[in-house]
Amino acid sequence: MPKLTLADKLVVAISSRALFDLTESHRIFIDYGVDAYQRYQIEHEDEILEAGPAFALVKKLLRLNRPDKQYVEVILLSRNSADTGLRVFNSIKHYGLDITRAAFTKGEPTSRYVPAFGSQLFLSADTEDVRRALDDGYAAATIFPSVFKNETDELRIAFDGDAVLFSDEAERIYQEEGLAAFSKSELASALQPLTGGPFKDFLAGLHRIQSDFPERESPIRTALVTARSAPAHERVIRTLRAWNIRIDEALFLGGLDKGEFLRAFGADIFFDDQRTHVESAAKHVATGHVPHGVANE
C-alpha cells in the first residue's frame, strides 16, 4: 500500500483563533484561567462560532479544490484539548469547511506541527508561535482582520517583497545605510537574483496551481506590492524570472501608502514584514504580519 502523503498539495495550517472569532473564549482564558476556559467551551460546544479573520481566505482556498483534483489541504492547529476543541469542529461542520486533519495541543505551542504536516503557510493569532515557524524556515504570519471583503470567487493574494518573498539582504542595507546606499547597491546587483524569503515556497505553490489553468481562467491572482521604485525594480523582476515563478501584478510604490492600492487590487490577504505597513493595510484588506528580518530585530 503506497504511503499517504500531502506532498502534492498546497498545505495551509491555521489556528482556531485565526479561523473563528474566539475573542470571548480567549478573554475568559486570560481573566479566569484554563479551567474556566475549558468549562466555558464544553458548556457552549453546541453554539456555532462566528467567522474569524482568516475564515474568508480559508473558504476561497478550499474552493480551489475540484472533484478530479484536490489542490489545497487546510490543517487546523489548536491549543485547545481535543475535548474543548469539539466546539471548533462543530463549527467547521456547520460551515461546510472541508477540514479533516487537526492537532490539538492542550496549551502547548502548535508551531512544531507545521513541519510535520509539510505546511507551506501557517496563519495564527499567536505571534510567538508564528515566530517559531518562521525561525524553522516556514511561511507564517499573524493575521489582522479587515472590514473589506473581496466578494469575487477569485483568490487574490498580495505580498511585500523584501523579508517576505525575498530575503532581507537588501532591506538590511536600507535600514543600516539609508536609501541612497540601498539604491546604489540594487543598481550594482541588478543582474544578481535575490535569495528567497520565507514566502517563496508558498508563492511557488500558488504558481503550480495557476499553471494548471489557462492564464485568463486562473482562480488565483497574485501581486507584489513593494515600497521599491526604479532603479530598484530591475533586480526584483529578474529574480522572479530566475525563479520561474509568475506574479500577475507588480506595484512599485516608492514609499507611498499601500492600503488604497491593495484595496484596488482586491486582496483577500496581504503579507508584510513591517508593522506600520500592516496597520495601514489592515484598514483596507485582511493582512498578515510576518515578524521576520531586520525590521523585526
Task: Confirm if 123 and 111 have CB atoms less than 8 A apart.
Answer: no
Q: Cell numbers for 160, please give them.
A: 511585500
Distance (Å) of CA 260 to CA 85, 122, 263, 277: 38, 26, 5, 12
Task: Name the catalytic one among 21, 98, 160, 272.
Answer: 160
Residue burial 105-117, b: 16+ Cβ < 10 Å; e: rest: beeeebbebbeeb
* Angle CA 289–290–295, to nearest 5: 105
Q: In what order do the strands lie in the sheet with 287-289?
A: 101-104, 72-78, 10-15, 121-124, 140-144, 287-289, 269-272, 155-159, 220-226, 249-252
Q: Cα–Cα distance between 141 and 289 in angstroms, integer? A: 5
Active-site residue flag, 21? no
SS (H, E, C) 105-119: CCCCCCCCHHHHHCC
Where are any strands of DSSP class E within the chain? 10-15, 72-78, 101-104, 121-124, 140-144, 155-159, 220-226, 249-252, 269-272, 287-289
Q: What are phi and psi of 39, to 5 degrees?
A: -60, -45
Residue with C-alpha cell 517559531?
132
State the catalytic residues: 160
